[in-house]
Structure 1
Amino acid sequence: MPRRPAPVACLPVIASFHARANTILFQAAAVCAVALYAAAAHAQLAEPTELVDQQHCMFCHTSDAPFLAPSFHQIAERYRNKPNAEVILEDKLRHGGKPHWGDMAMPLPADRGGPLSAEDAHTLVQWVLSQ
């Protein structure tokens, strides 16, 4: 049986339905894209084991529970959305610093395993913030 054309009165309704469906699909695609971007932005990086061992990070920190210092997860949560967090944390790693989280100060590099290059500090901070 051949398909009959829709009555003229239905055409605005059909056009409105298609426009609304396209809008919903576009919005759903945008939400999915944002969710995927957020997941990728917070994907946990592989541990830079050599740097972590060299700097004796695990003497004071653990991955997920406070020990002598805050856990890497706590640090990531506190600094993840702060402007200039990377710069602040990289400076703290490279130079040590006064306590601003509990009573324990970040030890000087000489007390942790030696000087740390800007590139190595950046690698460590990226890893911590990905927790």
Structure 2
Amino acid sequence: MTAPTRSCLAACAVLVLAGSVAHAETEPAALVDQQHCMFCHTRDAPFLAPSFQQIAERYRNVPDAQFKLEHKLRLGGKAHWGDMAMPLPADRGGPLSADDAHTLVQWVLSQ
């Protein structure tokens, strides 16, 4: 492989990785609206539930956190902070696909 080809491949890899990071940090606004996330959460301050930043800080380095949070988002769940539980999907805007739950959790954990 020639040096220019290696340089081109390296540049492409950097762009792909940068796109992945940017994607995770870009708010999935349609999903946030559909699931009524902002009814209970804010980005940076507790409201009726913990902020997205608090959730990220608590779970960022927890093994299997992504899976556990996606599961809770898709099915609802008991309160882990305060008295408010994650509402059932029917009470938040309807069912959430595994891919959409993954997108939301990635975004929250990127805060």
Task: Give the TM-score category using the shorter length.
Answer: 0.7 to 0.9
Q: Partner amino acid for 2:41?
A: H
Could you list the structure 1 runs, at least 4 aligned residues long, displaced by more than 2 angstroms after superposition: 40-44
**TM superposition shift of 1:42:** 7.7
Q: Provide TM-score, normalisation by structure 2.
A: 0.79
Query: In the alignment, what sits opposite 2:65?
Result: 85
Q: Partner amino acid for 1:71?
A: S
Query: In the alignment, what sits opposite 1:110?
Result: 90
Where 2:25 maps in the other structure, the secondary structure is coil
Distance in structure 1 (CA, Å) of the matches to 2:79 and 2:55: 13
Query: In the alignment, what sits opposite 1:72?
Result: 52
After superposition, the C-alpha distances for 1:6-55 in whole angstroms (9 at most, x for unaligned) are: xxxxxxxxxxxxxxxxxxxxxxxxxxxxxxxxxx7987610000000000
Query: In the alignment, what sits opposite 1:54?
Result: 34
- Unaligned 5+ segments in structure 1 are 1-39
Question: Which residue, 81, 86, 99 being the options, matches 1:119?
Answer: 99
Highest CA radius of gyration, 1 or 2? 1
After superposition, the C-alpha distances for 1:56-104 in whole angstroms (9 at most, x for unaligned) are: 0000000000000000000000000000000000000000001111100
- Unaligned 5+ segments in structure 2 are 1-17
Where 1:74 maps in the other structure, the secondary structure is helix
Percent identity reads 80
Distance in structure 1 (CA, Å) of the matches to 2:100 and 2:62: 21
The root-mean-square deviation of aligned C-alpha atoms, in Å, is 1.6
